């Protein structure tokens, strides 16, 4: 194991002072990692994702060593604040010059603009200019922390509202700016006229400012609506998947870190090939720092986590990770990973239970290598789908925001017309325009509202879900505001469905479904006995218990009974419970297994189709023959049959 200098609590750089015992890391990587700053605590998945997106190489090594990189980072953070303050002070100071001269110079003091003394005119211009930057500073740097502190007293979700306020900085700034400009205009402009009756321009300007204030309020309302829609849409779309995927990622991180502790990279011949493959997937190569203290443990765990995060981009490395984890804990000679194997590594009972809940998909108490590979592949695929879903949700909400901006712009025009002209005329114009637009774009508006309802209200599927429409299975590849792109599950063809069309269709989400059932119906001969049906059920029970990795063995998950009958046949319903839903890609194989077993059982029991299992009439085994009777004998036989048939009725015919 390599030795490392103890890292200081303030996060000083780690310098390796001894040779590394791991052969997988090259000397160049060793030197680069020895000068890389690391956190001194285990980071969360959110922080890890942000960290993983950072560049893995930094050409300015001197900046890292002397700490100037930190100074540059701090400057970048305060740069927007300094920019605002600079504009406020510099331009505000220039605008203050006429105000100062107006009080000190008699010629400037008597000058006027539009009938208002220059100094008072520039007082309002000063308010107009300073209010926008003061509002921006308050909204961006003060208000979020105030909101977070106040809401934090009553709720644990204060951080979410903190980010919402930060997203609303532009509309809140505009509202503060227009409000300050509007309420300061009348007190400053009135009573400071140099030339009476020459300030008629104040009324329309005041009305325009009122229009801007109302428009800013509507724009703020629109922005709040967008934030609410975005948060709720993201929660409805991804909340459960994100939680489940994070738990799986954290579990794999701990298992992989422990496997590397037991068997360091390339220290065991079984894992040499897999370790080299995994090294290619790591976005930030790290050294095995050992476990001398808690800080080294945290760094080691972080290094293992980076392999897991890399699987999103390198799904081809999932089998290597599965073999690395599975092989590190399994007992020699065994082919199944059991709970006691993890107990031997001193994992707590909660983590072991979580591991088998996530990785033991067939719920039979053990994990095979194939199961481990399939599970990790599914976790990587789900993580990629989550990022695709995030991207699509941002595009959808952005499109919805553009639509709302168009509505706000139209309302703003009406508001300005209402302030500057007669309200009655404004509403008349508005009614005429809306009627014309409604007639011209009736189909487009209907399609748009149907799509909005489908996406934000119904929300029947997410990216990556397997769905069934019109008895066809599809995989959702992309979702936008107006259409959804899907891939046919059988032919692999891509298709685009308008969301307005999907809004009127029945969509079955297979991915959101729990364990599903397969139902078979077979028609058999009318003379089939109950004992034969019970024998069929017993043999199917034996088959399912033998294949318990694929099918549920509970009593209620296997149903074999008569679902109907006719005078010439019986109908038997067979219901089999799968371990999983149709979206896991195993339905075809499982259904084929059941059909092959049913074919073998119907031949061996045996069960015959409608008409019985006798030989065909006229064949050698069932020959047909004829007899000759006299007409009187034939007539007597017919009458006797009809008489006997009539005697069997409950009610005699008239």
State residue 28's pLDDT score: 40
Residue 533 has pLDDT above 80, yes or no: yes
User: Residue 183: pLDDT band by 50, 70, 90 thresholds?
Assistant: very high
State residue 444's pLDDT score: 78
Q: What is the pLDDT of residues 594-603, one digit of tens each?
A: 999 999 998 8
User: Residue 423: pLDDT band by 50, 70, 90 thresholds?
Assistant: low
State the burial class of residue 555 (Cβ atoms within 10 Å of its Cβ: 0-12, 13-18, 19+): exposed
Helix (H) or strand (E) holding 598: helix 587-604
Q: What is the pLDDT of residues 209-235, one digit of tens each?
A: 999 999 999 999 999 988 888 877 776
Q: What is the pLDDT of residues 346-380, one digit of tens each?
A: 788 888 888 888 888 777 788 888 888 888 888 88
Q: What is the mean pLDDT of residues 155-182?
A: 84
State residue 75's pLDDT score: 66
State residue 64's pLDDT score: 32
Q: What is the mean pLDDT of residues 427-433?
A: 69
C-alpha torsion sign, points 460, 463, 467, 469: positive
Report the distance separating Cα 30 and Cα 47, nearest Å.
24
If one counts every other C-beta atom within 10 angstroms of the C-beta of residue 616, the result is: 9
DSSP string computed for 132-144: HHHHHHIIIIIHH
- 524 strand-pairing partners: 570
Q: Domain coordinates of the chain in residue numbers?
A: 27-63+244-380, 69-199, 389-509, 517-604
Report the distance separating Cα 2 and Cα 22, nearest Å.
8
Q: What is the pLDDT of residues 562-591, one digit of tens each?
A: 888 777 788 899 999 888 777 777 788 888
Report the distance separating Cα 356 and Cα 580, nearest Å.
15
Kindly report the pTM of this predicted structure: 0.64
% pLDDT > 90, the chain: 14
Q: What is the pLDDT of residues 606-638, one digit of tens each?
A: 888 887 666 666 676 777 777 788 888 888 888
| 102 alpha carbon, distance to own chain's centre | 62
Q: Taking a C-beta distance cutoff of 8 angstroms, is the pair 2, 287 a contact?
A: yes
State residue 40's pLDDT score: 33
Quickly name the fold that domain 389-509 has: SH3 type barrels. (2.30.30)
Q: What is the pLDDT of residues 638-647, one digit of tens each?
A: 888 888 877 7
Q: Can you give the length of the chain in residues?
A: 654
Quickly name the fold that domain 27-63+244-380 has: Recoverin; domain 1 (1.10.238)
Q: Is the peptide bond before 606 cis (omega within 30 degrees of 0)?
A: yes
State residue 177's pLDDT score: 94
State residue 487's pLDDT score: 92
- 336 strand-pairing partners: none
In the CATH scheme, what is the code of domain 517-604? 3.30.70.100
State residue 565's pLDDT score: 76
- Inter-CA distances, 190 with 107, 193, 194, 198, 209, Å: 22, 7, 11, 12, 15
């Amino acid at each position: 194991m390599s030795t490392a200098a103890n890292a200081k609590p303030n996060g000083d750089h780690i310098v390796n002072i001894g040779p590394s015992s791991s052969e997988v890391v090259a000397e160049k990587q060793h030197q680069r990692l020895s000068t890389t700053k690391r956190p001194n605590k285990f980071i969360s998945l959110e922080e890890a994702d942000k960290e993983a997106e950072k560049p893995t190489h930094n050409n300015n090594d001197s900046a890292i060593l002397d700490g100037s990189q930190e100074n540059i980072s701090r400057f970048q953070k305060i740069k927007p604040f300094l920019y605002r303050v600079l504009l406020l002070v510099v331009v505000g100071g220039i605008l203050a010059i006429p105000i100062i001269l107006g009080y000190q110079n008699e010629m400037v003091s008597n000058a006027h603009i539009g009938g208002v003394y220059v100094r008072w005119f520039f007082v309002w211009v000063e308010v107009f200019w300073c209010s926008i930057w003061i509002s921006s500073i308050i909204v961006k740097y003060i208000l979020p922390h105030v909101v977070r502190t106040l809401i934090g007293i009553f709720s644990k979700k204060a951080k979410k509202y903190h980010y919402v306020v930060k997203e609303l900085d532009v509309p809140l700034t505009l509202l503060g700016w227009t409000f300050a400009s509007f309420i300061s205009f009348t007190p400053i402009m009135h009573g400071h006229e140099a030339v009476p009756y020459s300030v008629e321009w104040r009324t329309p300007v005041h009305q325009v400012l009122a229009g801007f204030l109302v428009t800013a309020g509507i724009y703020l309302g629109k922005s709040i609506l967008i934030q609410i829609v975005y948060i709720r849409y993201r929660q409805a779309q991804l909340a459960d998947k994100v939680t489940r995927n994070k738990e799986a990622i954290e579990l794999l991180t701990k298992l992989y870190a422990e496997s590397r502790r037991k068997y360091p990279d390339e220290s065991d011949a079984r894992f040499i090939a897999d370790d080299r493959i995994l090294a290619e997937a790591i976005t930030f190569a790290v050294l095995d720092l050992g476990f001398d203290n808690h800080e080294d443990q945290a760094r080691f765990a972080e290094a293992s986590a980076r392999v897991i995060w890399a699987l999103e981009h390198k799904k081809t490395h999932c089998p290597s990770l599965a073999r690395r984890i599975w092989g590190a804990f399994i007992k020699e000679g065994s082919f199944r990973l059991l709970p006691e194997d993890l107990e031997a590594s001193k994992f707590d009972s909660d983590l072991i239970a979580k591991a088998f809940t996530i990785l033991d998909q067939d719920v039979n108490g053990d994990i095979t290598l194939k199961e481990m590979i399939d599970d990790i592949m599914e976790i990587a695929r789900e993580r990629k789908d989550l990022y695709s879903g995030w991207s699509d949700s941002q595009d959808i909400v952005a499109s919805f925001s553009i639509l709302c901006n168009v509505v706000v712009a139209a309302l703003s025009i009406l508001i300005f017309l209402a302030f500057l002209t007669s309200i009655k005329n404004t509403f008349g114009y508005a009614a005429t325009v809306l009627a014309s637009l409604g007639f011209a774009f009736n189909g487009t508006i209907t399609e748009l509202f149907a799509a909005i309802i489908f996406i934000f209200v119904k929300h029947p599927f997410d990216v990556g879900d397997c769905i069934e429409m019109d008895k066809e299975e599809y995989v959702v590849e992309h979702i936008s505001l107006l259409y959804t792109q899907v891939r046919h599950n059988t032919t692999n063809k891509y298709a685009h469905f308008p969301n307005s069309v999907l809004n009127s269709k029945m969509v079955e989400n297979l991915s959101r479904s729990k364990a599903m059932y397969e139902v078979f119906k077979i028609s058999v001969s009318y003379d089939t006995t109950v004992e034969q049906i019970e024998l069929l059920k017993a043999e199917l029970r034996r088959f399912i218990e033998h294949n318990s990795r694929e099918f549920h063995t509970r009593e209620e998950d296997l149903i074999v009974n008569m679902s109907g009958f006719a005078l010439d046949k019986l109908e038997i319903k067979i219901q089999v419970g799968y371990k999983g839903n149709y979206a896991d890609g195993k339905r075809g194989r499982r259904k084929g297994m059941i059909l092959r077993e049913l074919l073998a059982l119907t031949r061996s029991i045996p069960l015959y189709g409608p008409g019985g299992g006798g030989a065909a009439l006229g064949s050698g085994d069932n020959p047909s023959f004829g007899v000759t009777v006299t007409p009187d004998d034939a007539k007597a036989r017919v009458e006797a049959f009809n008489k006997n048939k009539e005697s069997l009725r409950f009610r005699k015919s008239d």
